[in-house]
Structure 1
Amino acid sequence: MSRRTKLIATLGPATESAEIIGQLIDIGANVFRLNMSHAKHEWARDMSRKIRQQANARMAHVALLFDLTGPSIRTGDVETPYELKIGDLVEFRREGTEPTVPLSTTVNYGGMMDDVAEGRTLVVDNGTLLMEIRTRKDDRILCEVKNAGTLGSRRHINLPGTRLNLPAMTEKDHKDLALAIECEADYVAGSFVRDAAHVHELRDAVQALEGTAQIIAKIEDQEAVRNIDAIIQASDAIMIARGDLGIEVAFEELPILQRRIIKRCHELGRRVIVATQLLESMIQNPTPTRAEVTDCSNAAYEEADALMLSGETSIGKHPLRCLEVLVKITSRIERSGGLGYGQDVLLRDERQKTARAAVTLADSLPDARLVVLTRRGVLANHTAMLRPRTSEFYAFTPKNLVCRQLALTRNVTAFKLPFAASIDETVQRAANFLIESENLKPGTPLVIVSDILSNHIAANSIILHHA
C-alpha cells in the first residue's frame, strides 16, 4: 500500500449514489461516515447497504462509521433569518416561553440559563456570530451582538469556557445508536464527549444492544482537553473535531492542541483522526488553497491514523476530486518522513514489547514486510502505533469485522484468513496468499508477529520467514 494515512469520507446528497460510493472506494476511501445530525433513518439504512454492496463487489474492507449528534445546543426556528447589526440585543429563551424583545429565539437546552454567566462569550453558527451575555434570568438570556451577521433556524451554539451540564447521550442519540447497531456499524462516534464517563456510557449502550462497534470520542471543547488522558484510555480512537474545538479554544492554540493530542494518542496507544475543514474551499472550488494543502500535510506529517472529509464530500461540488487531492497530499508527505511520535509509545505489557521488537527487526531488513496475525485486531493496532517504516504492513485475521475495523488503522492492509491449528501452517497460508495476490515476490523476508493460539497455547512470538 503506497499510502499509509487512512481517509474517511462523509456521505451526503453529493455522494449518495452507489456509483459514486464505488468510485470513492476506488480512489481510496477507507471509512464512510454517516452524520446523524442530518441523516434520516431510512437514508442511513440505504447508505449502509450501498457501502457494503460496493465494498463486497471490490473485495475491499471498508468501515462504516455512525457519527451521533450528541448533546449540542441549537437555536429554535425563526420565520425569517434575523439580519443582525453590532450592538443588537438577541434573546435566547427556554422552549415554551414568550419573547420579550423583537430578536428572540428558543434553545433546545433549557439548562443553559443555569450554566452560563453574565459577561461570558456566546458563539453562534460555528463562529460566524459572536455575542456577549449581558443579562441572565431563570428562563432566558439577553446577548449583545459583537459582529454583523445572519441568525437562521437551528443554528449551533458554543459557550467557550463554560461547563455545561448536558447529558452524554440524548434520546435521539439512543435511537440513532440502535439504528447503527442494526446496520452493523463498525464505529460509533460520540459527539461532545467531556470525560471518560461519557465514553463508558456510550460503550455500555452499544453492549446493551449487543453491538460490535468500536467507540470514537470526538474532542470538541475545553473540558474534553482537560480530561484528555482519561478519554483517550476509555476510547478505541480519538477524533480531533477542529470545528467546535477551534471555537471553544483560542484559534492560535488549535495547532498546538492538535499536535499535543496526536502525540498523547501515540503514547497511550490509541488511534487518532484529524477532522473538519481540511479542504473546505473545495466545497465550491476545484482546487485547494495552499493553506489547506499545508494543513493536510501537517496532519499526515504528524502521522495521524486518518484524515476526515465532511462537507467536502457530503455536499460539495467536487467530492471525487477532494478525495483525489487528499490521496496526493498524504502520499507525497509520507515519502518525506514523519514526526516520529511512534518512538514515544508507552510499552506496558509483553505483547506491546514484542510488537516493538518485530518493528525494529522489520525496519532493519532491506525490503522486509511486516505481517501481524491477530484475532481481534489489538496486536495490529499496537504494532501500527509504533509507526513501522517498512513499506508494506499486512494484518491477517479470520474475521471480516476485524478487517473492517482495521480500515481506520494507519498503514495496515487487512486480509481475512482462516487460522490453522499450528502457527507454522498459518504463516505459510499467509505467505502463499501474499504471493498469489501479487503483493510480494517469492523470497521476500517476512517479519511475522503473533499472539494467536498455536496448538492451544497462547504465545507472543516473532517469526522471520522467507516467502
Structure 2
Amino acid sequence: MSRKSKIIITLGPATESEEMIGKLIDGGTNVFRLNMSHAKHEWAAEMAKRVRRQAAERNANIAVLFDLTGPSIRTGDLEKPYNLLEGDVVEFRKVGADPTVTLSTTVNYDGLMGDVSVGNTLVVDNGALLMRIDVVEADRVLCHVKTPGTMGSRRHINLPGTRLNLPALTEKDHKDLALAVECEADYIAGSFVRDSAHVHELRAAMEKLEGEAQIVAKVEDQEAIRNIDAIINAADVIMVARGDLGTEVEFEELPILQRRIVKCCHELGTRVIVATQLLESMILNPTPTRAEVTDVMNAAYEEADCLMLSGETSVGRYPERCVDALVRISSRIERSGGHGFGQNVLLRDERQKTARAAVTLADSLPDARLVVLTRRGVLANHVAMLRPRTSGFYAFTPTDRVCRQLALTRGVRSFKLAFASNIEETIERVSELLKKDDLIRPGTPLVIVSDLLSDHFAANSILLHHA
C-alpha cells in the first residue's frame, strides 16, 4: 500500500448496498462510519454485517466505527420550515411550554435557559443562521435574527463560548452504545467530548457491556480545546470535527486549531482524524473544488492518520469518486513529504524508545521493510506515530480485532498471524507471508521490532533479518 493516509467514509442511502460497500473497499476505504444521529438500529446492525462480509470476501482488514449522537441541542419539529428575515424574533422553548410568538420551536435540552445569558450568540444549522439572545426566561429564550435564512425541523444549535452542563452520554447514547458492542464495533466515537472525564465515562460504560472497541473523542467546541491535552491522553483517537468546531470558533482560527490539535496528537502519541467538509461540493459535483484539493492536501501534509468523509458518501451522488479523490490527493502529497510532526513525539517509556530506534534503522537501510510483532497493536501505533519513511510497514498480530483496529493507523498494513513458541519460527512465517503477497524478495532487509517475550527475544527488542 503506497498510500499512508487512511480513509473513513460514512454509510448512508447512497452507499448502503453491499455491492457499493465492496466497491468502496476496493477503492481504498479503510473504515466505515455509522452515524447514529440518523441511523436506526436495524439498519446499523445490517450495515455492520455487510461491511464484515465484503471485507471477508477480500481478506481485508476493514474497521467499523459507531459514531454516537452525543448531547447535541436540536430544535423541535415544524409543520413547515420558517423563512427568517433579519430582525425577526424566534423563540426556543421547553417541550410543553406554550409559544408566545409566531416563530417558535421547542428545544430538546431543558437546561438551555439556565446555561445562556442575554447577549450570547446562538447558531443554528452549523452556521446557516446567526442569532442574538435578547430574552432569557425560565422556560424559553427569545432571539433576534442577525442573518436571514430557512430553519427546518431538528436543526442543530451551537452556543459559541457558552459552557453547557450537558451530560457526557444521553439515554439514546447508552442504547446506541449497547448496539455497537453487540455488533463488535472496532471504534466508538463520543460526540461533544468536553474533558477527559467524558472519555473515561464512555470507556467505562463500554467496558461494563464487555465491549473492546477503541474510543474516538470528537473535538467540537471551545471547552474541548481548553482541555485538549487531557482529552488526547485519555482517548485512543482524536477526531478534529470541523463542522461544529467551525461554528464554535472564529473561522480564521479553525486551520490554526486543526494544526495545533494534530501536532499535539503527534507529540502525545494519539492517532488523529481530520473530518468534515473535506469534499463538500462533491455531494453534488463530480470533481472537487481547488480549495478542497488544497484542504485535503493540507491534512495529508500534516500527516493525520485518517481523512473522513460524511455527507459526501452518505447522501452524495459520487461516493466512489470522492474516495478516489482522497486517494489521489493524499498519495501525491505523501510523495513530496510531510510536516514532520513525528519528530516531536515524546518518548516516555522503553517501548516508545525502541520504536524510535527501529524506525531510524529501517529508514537508514536501502529497500528495508519495517515489521512489528504485536498482540494488542500498541507497539504498531507507537511505530506509526514516528511516521517511518520506509516503503513497507507491516504489523502482525494473532487477532482479527487488532488487525481491524490498525485500519485507522497511518501507514501500516496489518496481517493476522499465529505466533510460534519461538521467535525464529515466527519470523520465518512472516517472511513467507510477505513473499507470498509479493511484498518482499529474497534478501530484503526486515527490521523486526517486537514487544513479545520469548526464550530468545526479549520484550521491546529489535532484530535485523534478511528474508
Same fold (TM over 0.5): yes
Contact 2:6 2:407 in 1 (8 A): yes
Aligned mates of 1:10, 1:428 — CA distance in 2? 39
Match of 1:229 in 2: 229
- Kindly indicate whether residue 417 of structure 2 is the aligned counterpart of residue 394 of structure 1: no
Name the aligned partner's letter for residue 219 of structure 1.
Answer: V
Contact 2:86 2:147 in 1 (8 A): yes
- Kindly indicate whether residue 149 of structure 2 is the aligned counterpart of residue 149 of structure 1: yes
Match of 1:51 in 2: 51
Match of 2:124 in 1: 124
Contact 1:301 1:337 in 2 (8 A): yes
TM-superposed CA distance for 1:437, in Å, is 1.4
Match of 1:20 in 2: 20
Aligned mates of 1:448, 1:195 — CA distance in 2? 38
Contact 1:399 1:416 in 2 (8 A): yes
Match of 2:359 in 1: 359
| Deviation digits for residues 83-127 of structure 1 (CA, Å, limit 9, x no counterpart) | 100000000001110000000000000000000010010000010
Aligned mates of 2:455, 2:364 — CA distance in 1? 31
Match of 2:100 in 1: 100
TM-superposed CA distance for 1:342, in Å, is 0.4
Aligned mates of 2:151, 2:237 — CA distance in 1? 35
TM-superposed CA distance for 1:266, in Å, is 0.3
Secondary structure at the aligned position of 2:401 is classed as helix
Contact 1:374 1:452 in 2 (8 A): yes
Match of 2:298 in 1: 298
Alignment of 1:364-375 (within 5 A): 364-375=364-375
Aligned mates of 1:54, 1:457 — CA distance in 2? 37
Secondary structure at the aligned position of 1:285 is classed as coil
Secondary structure at the aligned position of 1:339 is classed as coil
The sequence identity of aligned pairs, in percent, is 75
Aligned mates of 1:65, 1:393 — CA distance in 2? 24
Secondary structure at the aligned position of 2:272 is classed as strand
Contact 1:193 1:220 in 2 (8 A): yes
Contact 1:122 1:158 in 2 (8 A): yes
Name the aligned partner's letter for residue 246 of structure 1.
Answer: G
Match of 1:345 in 2: 345
- Kindly indicate whether residue 422 of structure 2 is the aligned counterpart of residue 422 of structure 1: yes
- Which ranges of structure 1 fall in alignment gaps of 5 or more residues? none
Name the aligned partner's letter for residue 358 of structure 1.
Answer: A
Secondary structure at the aligned position of 1:179 is classed as helix
The RMSD of aligned alpha carbons is: 0.8
Match of 2:76 in 1: 76
Match of 1:272 in 2: 272
Name the aligned partner's letter for residue 167 of structure 2.
Answer: P
TM-superposed CA distance for 1:39, in Å, is 0.2
Q: Give the TM-score normalised by structure 2.
A: 0.99
Match of 2:383 in 1: 383
- Kindly indicate whether residue 292 of structure 2 is the aligned counterpart of residue 281 of structure 1: no
TM-superposed CA distance for 1:460, in Å, is 1.2
TM-superposed CA distance for 1:457, in Å, is 7.4
Aligned mates of 1:206, 1:456 — CA distance in 2? 38
Secondary structure at the aligned position of 2:435 is classed as helix
Contact 1:374 1:396 in 2 (8 A): yes
Match of 2:211 in 1: 211
Aligned mates of 1:309, 1:154 — CA distance in 2? 22
Aligned mates of 2:363, 2:154 — CA distance in 1? 52
Name the aligned partner's letter for residue 432 of structure 2.
Answer: N
| Deviation digits for residues 140-190 of structure 1 (CA, Å, limit 9, x no counterpart) | 000000011011110000000000000000000000000000100000000
Aligned mates of 2:456, 2:391 — CA distance in 1? 33
Secondary structure at the aligned position of 1:439 is classed as coil
Aligned mates of 1:392, 1:98 — CA distance in 2? 64
Contact 1:89 1:103 in 2 (8 A): yes
Contact 1:380 1:395 in 2 (8 A): yes
Match of 2:33 in 1: 33
Match of 1:177 in 2: 177
TM-superposed CA distance for 1:265, in Å, is 0.2
Contact 1:73 1:109 in 2 (8 A): yes
Contact 1:115 1:165 in 2 (8 A): yes
Match of 1:8 in 2: 8
Contact 2:423 2:456 in 1 (8 A): no
Match of 2:443 in 1: 443
Seen in structure 2, the aligned counterparts of structure 1 residues 456 and 391 have a Cα distance that, compared at 3 Å, is: closer
Secondary structure at the aligned position of 2:317 is classed as coil
TM-superposed CA distance for 1:456, in Å, is 9.3
Match of 1:201 in 2: 201
TM-superposed CA distance for 1:54, in Å, is 0.1
Match of 1:66 in 2: 66
| Deviation digits for residues 222-272 of structure 1 (CA, Å, limit 9, x no counterpart) | 000000000000000000000000000010000000000000000000000
Name the aligned partner's letter for residue 269 of structure 2.
Answer: G
Contact 2:10 2:35 in 1 (8 A): yes
Aligned mates of 1:224, 1:233 — CA distance in 2? 13
Contact 2:121 2:130 in 1 (8 A): yes
TM-superposed CA distance for 1:455, in Å, is 3.0
Seen in structure 2, the aligned counterparts of structure 1 residues 458 and 466 have a Cα distance that, compared at 3 Å, is: closer
Name the aligned partner's letter for residue 257 of structure 1.
Answer: L
Contact 2:423 2:457 in 1 (8 A): no
TM-superposed CA distance for 1:427, in Å, is 1.2
Contact 1:423 1:453 in 2 (8 A): no
Name the aligned partner's letter for residue 391 of structure 1.
Answer: S
Secondary structure at the aligned position of 1:97 is classed as coil
| Deviation digits for residues 264-285 of structure 1 (CA, Å, limit 9, x no counterpart) | 0000000000000000000000
Aligned mates of 2:176, 2:457 — CA distance in 1? 41
| Deviation digits for residues 4-43 of structure 1 (CA, Å, limit 9, x no counterpart) | 0000010000000000000000000000000000000000
Contact 1:95 1:107 in 2 (8 A): yes
Aligned length: 467
Contact 1:239 1:273 in 2 (8 A): yes
Aligned mates of 1:268, 1:33 — CA distance in 2? 25
Q: Give the TM-score normalised by structure 1.
A: 0.99
Secondary structure at the aligned position of 1:160 is classed as coil
